[in-house]
Structure formats: structure tokens, C-alpha cells
Amino acid sequence: MQRRVHPAQVETAACYCGVDAGLAVTGARRFVPGARHCVRSDIKPSTTVSRRGSRGERTRTPSQLLPGLPDDLAIACLVRVPRLYHRELRVVCKRWYRLLAGNFYYSLRKSMGMAEEWIYVIKRDRDGRISWHAFDPIYQLWQPLPPIPVEYCEALGFGCAVLSGCHLYLFGGKDPIKGSMRRVVYYSARTNKWHRAPDMLRRRHFFGCCIINNCLYVAGGECEGVQRSLRSAEVYDPNKNKWSYISDMSTAMVPFIGVVYEGKWFLKGLGAHRQVMSEVYMPARNHWSPIVDGMVNGWRNPSTCLNGKLYALNCRDGCKLRVYDSSTDTWTRSVDSKLHLGNSRALEAAALLPLDGKLCIVRNNMSITLVDVDNVDNEQTNLWDTIAGKGHFKTVMTNLLSNIAGRSRLKSHIVHCQVLQA
């Protein structure tokens, strides 16, 4: 009987661990079970898939993320995969799922400058039901998302904010049957799943909210009872996973606009007697105070801060922008697209957000425009770029018809809009 001759194990003198000198994944072994690392820099033996034990039993070495490559190099490859394909990566195998479900993978993408920002739009349809959508501005594609939690499918006046850059929180609001809520849920852009968070301390809806130092602040609003308007305010610290009360507002208010500017939280809304009023909260002092100045008087919604400057829309369809000049305490017109889209509800600008160093304008018809405010003084640069919904821009006649139709029935409209990074 002839004995079967097994080929000799092949070895290579190349060490794959040092292929990407700019990528530090030496700690990958802790995050990826079974990861093997190069012990000698001058030689790297190939991995033996299976071998016979002393008693003839078959044993296997841990599987690799990418066959034939050490896990350090495999991670260096996988971390460069565009976010568009991460949903497919999770279903390849359990090890890939565990890698993309943890913080190590996305923290690495962020440290290498490869994290991508997507736009998340929460919309209410004509029947009052809530839906949401994600837009990839790089490939200019709308992406599927898991269903929104059932308690927010028909809720009114709930808050929406982003913590840690990748967690989208929904909180409070009014259920059509149960009334005001304390419930808090959040969606993780890293796991593509919804999770529960501790409830707020107070039931409320139609309140103001903001993020300061990665903490979620909530103030004012309404609740069922004798005193509908609220003065109370609270803060959620994700590191402690706990809500705490902060100082009450000077007076009860139902905010309709708010922004964080120079480390302070500015709110503008209606008081208990439906009078317009404004307040500012200073976190360092935990103090509220009324405010009346040029910034508040000329303040319009929506607004946002980018690179330390406060911007606001100057027309209904978002074709003009204004910037606040703190030295003169006045608002000045900064950027004009010189293209008026119309006054219909569909073309109304619902959100103004920072996106990849530019300002992002999102309209109710889901059209999205980027404005490069850093190059305002460069006349040869095209400052306005529509990246979604180009086919929605209409002629004067169709705009007129849309206005007439909008008076007869309520159109779908955007409730919240945020940017998540992963």
C-alpha cells in the first residue's frame, strides 16, 4: 500500500501586520475573538486549517476574518468598505457581524477620517403617521431602515437629538391615546437597531431640546393637567445613563425654535398667555435668564451653527441664508442662490444642518441642497449643489397648482432631520 505524501507547509517571509503603517490595530485581538498576530517580523507561517490530534480527533484553528490574511490586515481592508455596504457585511458571517456590531470598528473609521455622515429624515404623512428615511450624500441614494418604534408611529411633539454622533434619540411626545410620555428610545447607526434608554423625569410634549457637551437638555413644553405649560428642565448624561433636573426656566414656555450658540442655549417660544418670549440657558452657571436683543429679534427657523457662525434661512424655500454678526448684533444676508423655488408646502425648507463642512437644506419634498458657505467670497465657485430630489423642482405653473392644492388638504411634511456618523 502506498503512503500518501502530504505537501510541505508553505511559509512566507512577508509580515502582513505592518502593511498599513498608518493604521494601529494592535489591539484588534481583544475585539475580534480568535485574532492571530505576527510574532516574528521576518517570517509568518501559514495557518493550518485542520490537523489530527494525538487520538486521531480533528481540531480546527479559529477562522480568519479574511482567509489567508491575518486579522490585523483584514480589519485594515474591511474598515475601508463604504458605509453603503455595511448592511451586507453584517450578514456574511458571525465574526464580521461581531466586528461591525462593536465600537472598535467604527472608532477606527472615525480616527482614520473614513466615517461617513448620512442624513436621517423623520416625516409625517397626510394620515398623521410617522416614517423615516436615510440618505447617503456620497452615493446620493436613499437607504432602508428598521421600522420606527410603535410608540412613535403617531406621536406628536416629541423630541429628536443625536448623541455621540451615532445615536439618534426620540423622547417625550404625546400619544394620541395615552397622552404625554416620558419614554426615551434611541437608534444606533452602528448596529442599525433601536434600543431603550431611561425615561425622562417629567412627561412633556412640544418642548425644546439641545445637545451641549454630549449631554441632552430638555426644557419647557406642555403636559396634561391644570398647568399645561411647563417651566421644568432636565438633562440626560449618556455616560451616567441618568436624567437629572436642572434649574427651572424663568417662566413657563412652549418653545418653537432653539439653537446652541457660543456654548449657550437660546430658546424662543410662547408663554402661558401666548406671548412671544425668549430665554437663554448658561450650563456653566445652571441659570436661565430672559433675553431681548438683535439676535433674538431677527431670529428665524430653521437655524444652525457652523464653524462658530450662526446661520438662518431668509426665505420660505431656503434659497437665501442669513448670518448673525455678534459685533453689530444684527443679521445680514450672506448667501443668495438667486433662484426662488416657490412658496408651496412641498418646497418649504424644513431643516438646516451642518454636513461635511457645508450647510445642508432639507425640504418637505425630500430635496436636499448643500451650500458651501466657506467660499462665499469666491465668485467662480458654485456654492449651491442639489444632491437629492432634482426632479422635484417645478415650473412656475406647477408651483401655482401646488399652492392651490396645499390649501385644500394637509401635505406630508418633515418633523425632524438629523445627521448621523458611522
- Residue 389, phi-psi category: left (phi > 0), alpha (psi -120 to 50), beta (remainder): left
Residue 195 corresponds to which cell in the numbers above? 434600543
Burial of 101 (0-12, 13-18, 19+ CB in 10 A): middle
Where are the domain boundaries for CATH 2.120.10.80 in the chain? Answer: 158-287
pLDDT recorded at residue 125: 94
Please determine, for residue 364, whether its predicted confidence score (pLDDT) is greater than 70: yes
Q: How many C-beta atoms lie closer than 10 Å to residue 327's C-beta? A: 5
Confidence of residue 31 (pLDDT cuts 50, 70, 90): low
Confidence of residue 63 (pLDDT cuts 50, 70, 90): confident
Q: What is the mean pLDDT of the chain?
A: 84
Burial of 194 (0-12, 13-18, 19+ CB in 10 A): middle
Expressed in angstroms, the distance from the first to the final Cα of the chain is 61
Dist CA 350 CA 352 (whole Å): 7
In Å, how far are 110, 237, 283 from 212, measured between CA atoms? 21, 10, 8
For helices 94-101 and 71-78, give the axis angle rounded to 10 degrees.
60
Residue linked to cell 434600543: 195
pLDDT recorded at residue 378: 74
Q: Has domain 118-145+293-422 been given CATH number 3.10.310.30?
A: no
Closest CA to 348 of 369, 362, 334: 362
Confidence of residue 10 (pLDDT cuts 50, 70, 90): very low
Q: What is the pTM of this model?
A: 0.83
Where are the domain boundaries for CATH 2.40.10.480 in the chain? Answer: 118-145+293-422
Topology of 158-287 in CATH?
Neuraminidase (2.120.10)
pLDDT recorded at residue 13: 32
Query: Which DSSP string do the residues of 131-188 spell out, in sequence order?
Result: EEEEEETTTTEEE--PPPPGGGSS-BS-EEEEETTTEEEEE--EETTTEE---EEEEE
Confidence of residue 9 (pLDDT cuts 50, 70, 90): very low
Residue 319 corresponds to which cell in the numbers above? 434659497
pLDDT in tens, 331-346: 998 788 888 888 888 9
Q: 402 or 276: which carries more pLDDT confidence?
A: 276
pLDDT above 90 covers a percentage of the chain that reads: 68
Please determine, for residue 11, whether its predicted confidence score (pLDDT) is greater than 70: no
